[in-house]
Amino acid sequence: MSILNALLFALVAFAGSFVVLGAAWVAGRGRAAAVRHLIWTGAFAVLLALPLAALLLPSQMTFLLPAAPVAADGPVVATAPAATGIDAADVVLALVALWFAGVLFHLGRLVVGGIGLIRLHRRSVAHIPHGIGEAPFRGLSWQLRLRTSPSSEAGPLTWGVLRPVVLLPKASVTWPRERLTSVLLHEAAHVRRKDCLCRLIAMAASALYWPNPLVWLAARAMRADAERAADDAVLTAGVKPTRYAEHLVGLAREFSGVSFAMSLSMAERRMLNTRVEAILDPAQPRSGVTKMDVLKLGVAAVALTAGLALVRPSLAEEPAPAQKPAAAAPHQTPPTHKTIKHTGHIVHRGVVVADVDDVQDPPDPPEPPDVNVPPEPPAPPAPHMSAVPPVPPVPPVHALSAAQRAAGQAQAHAEARRAIAEARRALAEVDIHQTVQQAMKQAEQSMREAKIGEAEARKALARMDIDRVVGEAMRKAEIAMQKAEAAQARAERKRLIIEHRVTKDGDTVIEDSSRTDEE
């Protein structure tokens, strides 16, 4: 029964992974990349917590299986199974071994990736950027470590959970200030949102549910959303989209973009096209994750995990009533077993016990001794006894009444157990309906709040666009005013020069005329 329950739980968990990841994909449509990344992280956390919740929480959907009757006063005789070649237990063990081999393979990939990162860290050196402000490192000075790779092919990488490391290529010492700032803003966004821890959770869930192809698609989508969320953080910091897209394409062209299992690479080429399109799209939502979003997702994840653990089906064996062995028919004597002597063998009760050559003939019985036995004396006559009164006849007892009472009691017990099982199923259905209704209400409230937040974000974005346009127009007007004032000053200076020249020429003419008169 335990093997059947384990196999049933594995099937339910496999089907539940489709449900959880499908719900995460639906919930993340139309949202910002950071919110989608948070939703994927919650879905993978639910998949990891589901086996533990199944061990701690009892199942509320138990199906009873009929059990074979057991004799009350006789030993239980086990019948040997028929030789069919392949047993169901062998098939289950083969499937478990195959699943366990897949889990070990994918966990081995994580170990190999970790070893590669340790070697890369040992070959790298510490790096201190010059001429960079405190904006990329705000709040991260105590935990962020910058290092430079000795190889010029390794692009910007980030890994680590407790003490994250940002590895820059060797050529980063010659980068322009704008490119280095953009790269540091991108990697610092990964560190602030704990993307390496989220990726580790996703890889562990993928190793546990590796037969499900939807798990690998979700892990790939989560990785792409992590990079796009970091890109949105760079653009929100004030970097121009066109310049950042140029930097991103340049990094992908100059470096290989190779990443390990537990690291995040900025210059990865597989998702470059979608990232550049999202960067240059002005209508793309770029909002971050708030504490309220994390709280809502945590509550929804706990409710979903508990609900799936409680409504999982389980099997139980229904105890059968004890049956008394059938009474032997009266005046029947057990058959006598004879030892039959065949040619070359001795068969006793249908079983060959020995060969004829190995069994010795029994010795002849001894002859009675020739002794004259004296005759026995005659017995004395028995004394006269009074007549015994006749015993009244005992009324016959019906032998079937006890069996009928036992059968009625067994039937009553079975009906009581069925009624208890139906009551438990009804109670579980009521709890399930209440849980589903509460989850639906919470989902509707979350949708309303999300719509309100989206409308406010759009209004804020529209106001930001208007303020930016007005600011640009004001700057252009100031520039035009400055140019006009400069032109007016130049015209004024020219006018003064001309007036001065005219005045000077007039004085000269007057002096010449006076001289002529005097002559």
Give 341's pLDDT tier (boundaries 50, 70, 90).
Answer: very low
What average pLDDT does this structure show over 482-500?
84
Q: How far is CA 190 from CA 129, 231, 255, 514, in A?
A: 19, 10, 20, 92
Residue 202 pLDDT greater than 90, yes or no? yes
Q: Which percentage of the chain shows pLDDT scores above 70?
A: 66
Residue ending a domain, among 318, 349, 364, is 318
Q: Do 278 and 149 reside in the same domain of the chain?
A: yes
Q: Which helix (H) or strand (E) holds 295?
A: helix 291-310
CB neighbour list of residue 223: distance below 8 Å, 6 or more residues apart: 199, 202, 264, 271
Q: Do 48 and 169 reside in the same domain of the chain?
A: yes
Q: Do 294 and 439 reside in the same domain of the chain?
A: no
CB neighbour list of residue 495: distance below 8 Å, 6 or more residues apart: none
Look at the block and give the residue holding tokens 């081995």.
Answer: 108
Residue 384 belongs to a domain:
no
pLDDT for the residue numbered 214:
92
Residue 345 belongs to a domain:
no
- What does residue 126 show for φ and ψ, rounded to 5 degrees? -70, 150
Give 505's pLDDT tier (boundaries 50, 70, 90).
Answer: low
* Of 405 and 266, the one with more pLDDT: 266
Overall number of domains in the chain:
2
Lowest-pLDDT range, 219-223, 247-251, 268-272, 424-428?
424-428
| C-alpha span between 431 and 303 (Å, rounded) | 13
pLDDT digits (tens, 9 = 90+) for 272-331: 888 898 899 888 888 888 889 899 999 999 998 888 888 777 666 666 555 555 544 454
Residue 424 pLDDT greater than 70, yes or no? yes
Contact 274, 36 (CB under 8 A): no
Q: Do 308 and 432 reside in the same domain of the chain?
A: no
* Of 147 and 342, the one with more pLDDT: 147
Residue ranges making up the domain that contains 8: 2-68+92-318
Structure tokens of 173?
A: 């010492």
| C-alpha span between 154 and 164 (Å, rounded) | 17
Residue ending a domain, among 318, 336, 354, is 318
pLDDT for the residue numbered 391:
52
Q: Decide: residue 323, CB within 10 A, 0-12 exposed, 13-18 middle, 19+ buried.
A: middle
Give 19's pLDDT tier (boundaries 50, 70, 90).
Answer: confident
Q: Do 455 and 309 reside in the same domain of the chain?
A: no
- The structure's pTM equals 0.57
Average pLDDT, the chain: 75
What average pLDDT does this structure show over 85-91?
69
pLDDT digits (tens, 9 = 90+) for 96-107: 889 899 999 999
What average pLDDT does this structure show over 114-130?
81
Residue 465 belongs to a domain:
yes
Q: Do 298 and 439 reside in the same domain of the chain?
A: no
C-alpha dihedral (490, 494, 500, 502), degrees to nearest 10: -160
Residue 461 belongs to a domain:
yes
- Segment of 35-49, 331-345, 450-464, 499-513 carrying the highest mean pLDDT: 35-49
* Of 401 and 458, the one with more pLDDT: 458
Q: Do 28 and 160 reside in the same domain of the chain?
A: yes
pLDDT for the residue numbered 342:
45
Residue ending a domain, among 291, 318, 345, is 318
Q: How far is CA 383 from the centre of its chain?
A: 100
Q: Do 155 and 19 reside in the same domain of the chain?
A: yes
Q: Do 162 and 307 reside in the same domain of the chain?
A: yes
Residue 81 belongs to a domain:
no
Count of residues making up the chain = 519
Residue 309 belongs to a domain:
yes
pLDDT for the residue numbered 43:
93
Quote the DSSP letter at residue 316: E
pLDDT for the residue numbered 329:
46
pLDDT for the residue numbered 44:
94
Structure tokens of 195?
A: 């993307």
pLDDT for the residue numbered 313:
73
Specify which residues 340 forms β-bridges with: 347
Q: Which percentage of the chain shows pLDDT scores above 90?
A: 13
Residue 396 pLDDT greater than 50, yes or no? no
